[in-house]
Amino acid sequence: MGVTINLINAQRKVKVDDAIKASFKKSAEAVLNHEGIEFPCEIDVKLVSDKGIRELNRDFREVDAPTDVLSFPSGELDEYDEEDGFPCFLGDIALSLEFAKRQCEERDGAEASLLREVTLLTTHSVLHLLGYDHAEEDEKEEMFAIQEKLTDEIMSGK
């Protein structure tokens, strides 16, 4: 099992250090391991500004406001055939580091960890790529419990 992360940094407001870059792969691997997915996968991650994510949110969800992260599942998971020899493309993630930084600072104060926020948001988004949702309260409880558990494990180095 392995995951390839194709990372595109299309924003210039928040510095992307090596730890943040590594967090995308760690988060995706943790989710895939948790879900028992043992074949190679691929995910495209695009880091965008608040303006960029607002446009995506407006165009795809009809919500004219910025948000932290958006997930766009490919639908390939249900039809994936390992015999093809290609990794399973799970989908796209768009993440506003600008929004994520502000969000964690507002919630946790000056000591906020952008790395933890990015890890949490990536874990959340990969769960969406695998079909999780939080439209119903029971779904939300399950999904949020998994993302918190995995984020805590990743941040503690387990």
Q: Check pLDDT > 70 for residue 61.
A: yes
For tokens 């969406």, the residue is: 128
At residue 1 the predicted structure's pLDDT band, cuts being 50, 70 and 90, is low
Q: Span 129-139, mean pLDDT?
A: 93
| 147 touches 130 (CB < 8 A) | no
DSSP 8-state assignment for residue 87: -
Look at residue 36 in the predicted model and tell me its pLDDT: 95
Q: Where are the domains of the chain?
A: 3-156
Q: What is the dihedral of CA 51, 28, 115, 52, to 10 degrees?
A: 0
Query: Model-level pTM?
Result: 0.94
- pLDDT bin (cut points 50, 70, 90) of residue 109 is confident
pLDDT, tens digit (0-9, with 9 covering 90-100), for 2-37: 899 999 999 999 999 999 999 999 999 999 999 999
The yes-or-no verdict on residue 78 having pLDDT over 70 is yes
Statement: residue 111 has pLDDT above 70: no
Mean pLDDT of the chain: 94
At residue 51, what are phi and psi to the nearest 5 degrees? Answer: -60, -45
Looking at domain 3-156, its CATH class is: alpha beta
Helix and strand counts by DSSP (H, E) for the chain: 5, 4
HSE-up of residue 89 (Cα within 13 Å, Cβ side): 9
- DSSP assignment of 95-139 equals EEHHHHHHHHHHHHGGG--HHHHHHHHHHHHHHHHTT---SSHHH
Question: Strand 69-73 vs strand 88-96: parallel, antiparallel, or unpaired?
Answer: antiparallel
Range of weakest confidence among 20-24, 52-56, 84-88: 84-88
